[in-house]
Structure 1
Amino acid sequence: MDKETIAPLNISQSACIYEQIQAQIAARRSGLAAYQLAEYKAAKNWLRRYRPADESNLARVTGYLEAFYHLAQVEDWDNARAIATIQLPATHDQELHRQLFVWGYYRQQQRLYKSLFGQADAAMDLVCLSGLGNLEDVWGNIDRAIEYHRQALALAQMLESAEARSTALGSLGNAYLSLQNFEQAIDYYQQQLDLAEMLEQPRLVGVALGGLGNAYREIAAYNLALDVAKRRIDIAQSSGDQQGEGDGYCSLGSTYLAQGELTEALTVLEQALTIAQSIGYRLGECRALGNLGLVYGTLQKDDAAIDCLEKTLALANKIEDKEGRQQAILQLEVLYRQRGDTLQAMGYQQLARGFISEPLERAALLLNLGTGCRNLNRLETAIDCYQELLTVAELVGEDEQRLLRMMGLYCLALTYQQQDEIKQAWRSCRLALELSHTSVEPLVEKCLDLQQTLALALQREV
């Protein structure tokens, strides 16, 4: 069974919602069609009669979710909202819709927000916009995330809600951090922090500090990053915010790792992982595992690194954490390639081929994958990789382009030679030598040696 913090149902609130539904049916009965009465009956049954099939958190709250869906069908938004905001006792009375994010049930949360948006009041719309933006950020749809958060910020300003403004500013900071627009991200985080401190709300201050710490680490301002991460942890501990404490340890560990302080990184990342698992915070667990994998990899403890990263990948796939998934794939590819496990490395290279777009990074990936395929005699796939490498080379500067084109053509020549396509191999080798330059002299020598070998093979064919 997954490590989860099992959430008992809120019996008193469920009973209250049940009575409200009864009252709504009585008030609307004369105007309700048969299908609407059936939807109400189903909603009541899910609230009263449902028993979880297992002990997972999703199973425990399925009754609430299904009741919500049936109420949405009859547009009973007051009771639907009451279910979405029901407090779960084992989560420090966190509301259902927010707890779904903590547990990694993103699609269920999205469905609630999309159903409720525009159906209740402006305050609920604000919650929906913020939540939908956070989901798009996790899924890597940053432009959509920014649009949602800008709408949330505008609505927060209209409602004159400083707390909601602070949240929206921080969410915009997260989105711009994902885009590596560090200056803009820091500006948003600082605005968020200023508002949070004005409101004297520790949780909001902690969230803002967390964002600033991540941004400072990305620009290598490590002392600032360490300072705000430690403040984040102190505030979270004093206010009983376990999720914030775990995030703080994860940020602190990432900064220690960036500085090469591996023992310290290992200690605090283990703390982050323990907290995330104890409260069922799946995204936090995913990030902590991924960072632990990086630390173990740096320590050359490959087995431990692979174990952490494979767990990261499995969890990231489960909760649709795009960033966690991509980082795990890239690190696993490196580890298996360094081990000489070509087949495993190629599997991750193929996965990485689906998302690596930066030209130089993609070129390196294609070269490694093509070479792996050639070594395993998967020659058609190797040719495909090398030909794409030639295309990607057109997207970089002149010096890099010369090197990449020459390497691609040389590798194509080797592959065609392996296929006994000697004329094709000769042509590729000749094209590679046309790019000769002092900057690629070692590669020129390899091409000349290959050309001589191919020339002898052509003579034998004649």
Structure 2
Amino acid sequence: MPMLVRSPIKILAFIPLLISVQLPLLCNFSASSLASQVEAETGRDRQAEADRLQQQGFAQAQKNRQYEAALNSWQKALTIYREIKNRLGEAQALGNIGYAYFLLEEREKAIQYLQQNLAIARQIKHRQEEADALGNIGTVYYSLGDYRKAIDYYNQSLAIQREVKNRQGEAICLQNLVTAYRYLGEYDKATEYEQQILAIANTQAEANSTTRLWQQFKIVERYPNL
């Protein structure tokens, strides 16, 4: 099974979680400034709560396999991100919800949420998020047995991973392409992409770290019927 990013089955970053950056507060003296400060603090509190829910959902899904609980946490996070108009957080929460539906084997819903994830990533021009969303959509199509469509999404993701110089993301996409082509019986194409993976390993100063990455994201055949 190809790897889904940002998650244990990453193809691709199913999901980087958004970590809030807390800015230092300034001392304000006027009444209007104080009101603005309170509003800012409230916004930061809501941001922190949404981020906590993201992390909570990740722990529920990965450590405890409580997929319904994880879905609930991510839905709550999504609501908050929308309230505070955090578009990147909204995109990532949508991606995580798609991941939850993937784990719950509700593939069509997974695609719906991942497409929303992709749409926002493109609107805000966040190329890494776009690459991850594309790869994750590819993995859902792979799980449905639509290997050609999966390959199309993997190639789109691969192009962006290379554009943003994300070597790990590039390696994950290449590995997923290898797997998809093998399932199609196109072993020459699979070998072609394997050679590209080896080229990445050879150009990495920390080849051992790259090897560990591939081992960590090794494809798990969870669906023997595919």
- Range class of TM-score, shorter chain: 0.5 to 0.7
Equivalent pairs counted in the alignment come to: 178
Q: Where does residue 109 of structure 2 map in the other structure?
A: 184
The answer to whether the 8 A contact 1:170-1:192 is kept is yes
What is the identity, as a one-letter code, of the residue corresponding to 2:175?
C
Alpha-carbon separation, structure 2, partners of 1:141 and 1:160: 28
Q: CA deviation at 1:204?
A: 1.0
**Secondary structure at the residue paired with 1:228?**
helix
Q: CA deviation at 1:267?
A: 5.1
Q: Where does residue 5 of structure 2 map in the other structure?
A: none
Q: Where does residue 45 of structure 2 map in the other structure?
A: 121
Alpha-carbon separation, structure 2, partners of 1:125 and 1:284: 33
Identity %: 23
**Unaligned regions of 5+ residues in structure 1, if any?**
1-80, 83-119, 292-323, 332-462
Q: CA deviation at 1:152?
A: 1.2
Structure that is richer in helix per residue: 1
**Secondary structure at the residue paired with 1:208?**
helix
Equivalent in 198, 217, 220 of residue 287 of structure 1: 217
Alpha-carbon separation, structure 1, partners of 2:126 and 2:118: 10
The answer to whether the 8 A contact 1:243-1:281 is kept is no
Structure 1 residues 22-41: aligned runs within 5 Å? none
Equivalent in 198, 221, 242 of residue 167 of structure 2: 242
1:265 and 2:180 aligned: no
Q: Where does residue 98 of structure 2 map in the other structure?
A: 173
Alpha-carbon separation, structure 1, partners of 2:102 and 2:175: 17
Alpha-carbon separation, structure 2, partners of 1:123 and 1:254: 39
Q: Return the structure number with greater relative CO, CA threshold 8 A, min gap 6.
A: 2
**CA separation of 1:216/1:144 partners in 2, compared to 1, >3 Å: closer, same or farther?**
same
Q: TM-score, normalised by structure 1?
A: 0.35
Alpha-carbon separation, structure 1, partners of 2:145 and 2:78: 29
Q: Where does residue 130 of structure 1 map in the other structure?
A: 54
Alpha-carbon separation, structure 1, partners of 2:166 and 2:87: 21
Equivalent in 68, 90, 98 of residue 143 of structure 1: 68
Q: Where does residue 33 of structure 2 map in the other structure?
A: none
Alpha-carbon separation, structure 2, partners of 1:122 and 1:269: 45
Structure 1 residues 165-244: aligned runs within 5 Å? 165-244=90-169
Greater Cα radius of gyration, structure 1 or 2: 1
Q: CA deviation at 1:269?
A: 5.2
Q: CA deviation at 1:147?
A: 1.6
**Secondary structure at the residue paired with 2:217?**
helix
Across the aligned residues of Structure 1 and Structure 2, the Cα RMSD in angstroms comes to 3.2
Alpha-carbon separation, structure 1, partners of 2:61 and 2:126: 25
Alpha-carbon separation, structure 1, partners of 2:194 and 2:59: 24
Alpha-carbon separation, structure 2, partners of 1:235 and 1:147: 31
Q: TM-score, normalised by structure 2?
A: 0.67
Q: CA deviation at 1:277?
A: 6.1
Q: CA deviation at 1:146?
A: 0.8
Equivalent in 45, 63, 86 of residue 161 of structure 1: 86
The answer to whether the 8 A contact 2:168-2:210 is kept is no
What is the identity, as a one-letter code, of the residue corresponding to 1:205?
E
The answer to whether the 8 A contact 1:213-1:251 is kept is no
**CA separation of 1:206/1:158 partners in 2, compared to 1, >3 Å: closer, same or farther?**
same
